Amino acid sequence: MNNDLQAEMFAQLMEPFTGETLFDYTTDIVYFIKNARGQYVVVNQSLVERCGCREKRELIGRTPDQVYPRTLGQSYRLQDEQLLRTGEPVLNQLELQIYPSGDTGWCLTNKVPLHGKRHEVVGLVGISKDLHAPSDKSENYTPIAKTIHYIQTHFDEPLKVSDLAEMAGLSPYQFEQRMQKIFEITAGQFIQKVRMDAAVRRLVRTEDAIVEIALDCGYSDQSTFSRQFKQTVGVSPAYYRRLVRRQAE
């Protein structure tokens, strides 16, 4: 039903909807769509200005390493290439942004793949949202950024908030405050979200047994995982897998 409504709506549009015009009015968000080669196809005005350009056409067809300072540009391009190769989204990536003025600021980046009619990855769409205005006196999120990356790459292991706080050089209270400020959820909820995101991807993209997914995503057993999954998503992992695959047929 949802797919039918979307098809009906988009069939009436004069041109493809990209969201570009809407995001032109959000100055604290960088928005972009890139093709399978990692080249900008759609950008908003904020991205144009962040790259020190005047017009969108100066970015279209170029890759991040061609428009950003060398180190940053290369890291963004490698990030894009991995997503385009694996189809794995980039979620809640805490990154340092360098502006044309030389000022720095932190942003939260999310990128997801765009799939073609044969389910192949044909590009990506992403946004980077400023956490605060760029300033030489901006708060330093480097320690917590490293800790967040640790969570995102070690979610299959036991993770204690107290240990993560120590890793970031903060007290548990300070760590929780930072997490609330950035993600608007607790550290425990963030860990749970990372695990659930990984589990959902495995359920949709693989034939792996649910017990295997549970253990790989940091749960002690299938029962605990299934209970948490149903509480979070509303249905069991097995039902979710069947539902998504039926919709894709």
Q: Are 227 and 221 in contact (CB under 8 A)?
A: no
% of residues, the chain, pLDDT over 90: 57
Q: What is the pLDDT of residue 136?
A: 47
- Which of 70, 96, 130 is the last residue in one of the domains? 130
Q: Is residue 135 part of a domain?
A: no
Residues 146 and 68 placed together within one structural domain of the fold: no
pLDDT in tens, 111-157: 999 999 888 999 999 999 888 655 545 567 888 999 999 999 999 99
Q: Is residue 86 part of a domain?
A: yes
pLDDT in tens, 175-231: 999 998 888 889 998 999 899 989 989 998 899 999 999 999 999 999 999 999 888
Residues 117 and 159 placed together within one structural domain of the fold: no
Domain containing 183 — which CATH number?
1.10.10.60
Q: Is residue 137 part of a domain?
A: no
Residues 123 and 150 placed together within one structural domain of the fold: no
Own/partner pairs, 41-46, CB within 8 angstroms, 24+ separation: 41/123, 42/18, 44/20
Q: Is residue 238 part of a domain?
A: yes
Q: CA separation (Å) from 127 to 33, 95, 106, 139?
A: 9, 12, 13, 21
Residues 118 and 152 placed together within one structural domain of the fold: no
Own/partner pairs, 66-72, CB within 8 angstroms, 24+ separation: 67/40, 68/98, 69/98, 72/96, 72/98
Residues 18 and 42 placed together within one structural domain of the fold: yes
Residues 6 and 91 placed together within one structural domain of the fold: yes
Residues 74 and 37 placed together within one structural domain of the fold: yes
Query: Residue with structure tokens 């990536």?
Result: 93
Q: Are 128 and 111 in contact (CB under 8 A)?
A: no
State which amino acid sits at residue 49.
E
Best CA proximity match to 143, nearest among 162, 167, 163 = 167
Residues 159 and 227 placed together within one structural domain of the fold: yes
Residues 158 and 206 placed together within one structural domain of the fold: yes
List the single range of 83-87, 100-104, 109-113, 239-243 with lowest mean pLDDT.
100-104
Domain containing 38 — which CATH number?
3.30.450.20
Residues 197 and 156 placed together within one structural domain of the fold: yes
The pair of three-digit structure tokens given for residue 59, joined into one six-digit string = 């970015």
Task: Give the model's confidence band at 100: pLDDT under 50 very low, under 70 low, under 90 confident, else very high.
Answer: low
Q: What is the pLDDT of residue 93?
A: 85
| Residue 89: DSSP 8-state | P
Q: Is residue 192 part of a domain?
A: yes
Secondary structure element (H or E) that encloses residue 189, with its range: helix 187-205
Q: What is the pLDDT of residue 132?
A: 66
- Which of 98, 130, 162 is the last residue in one of the domains? 130
Domain count, the chain: 2
- Quick check: 161 pLDDT over 60? yes
- Please state, in angstroms and rounded to a whole number, the distance separating the CA atoms of residues 31 and 45: 9
Q: Is residue 136 part of a domain?
A: no
- Please state, in angstroms and rounded to a whole number, the distance separating the CA atoms of residues 47 and 16: 21
| Segments forming the whole domain that contains residue 146 | 142-248
Sign of CA dihedral 236, 240, 243, 245: negative
Q: Is residue 103 helix, strand or coil? A: coil
Q: In what order do the strands lie in the sheet with 104-115?
A: 40-43, 29-35, 121-130, 104-115, 90-98
Residues 199 and 111 placed together within one structural domain of the fold: no
Instruction: Look over the chain and give the mean of its residue pLDDT values, rounded to a whole number.
Output: 89
Q: Are 72 and 100 in contact (CB under 8 A)?
A: no
Residues 240 and 180 placed together within one structural domain of the fold: yes
Q: Is residue 244 part of a domain?
A: yes
- Which of 130, 159, 192 is the last residue in one of the domains? 130
Q: Is residue 27 part of a domain?
A: yes
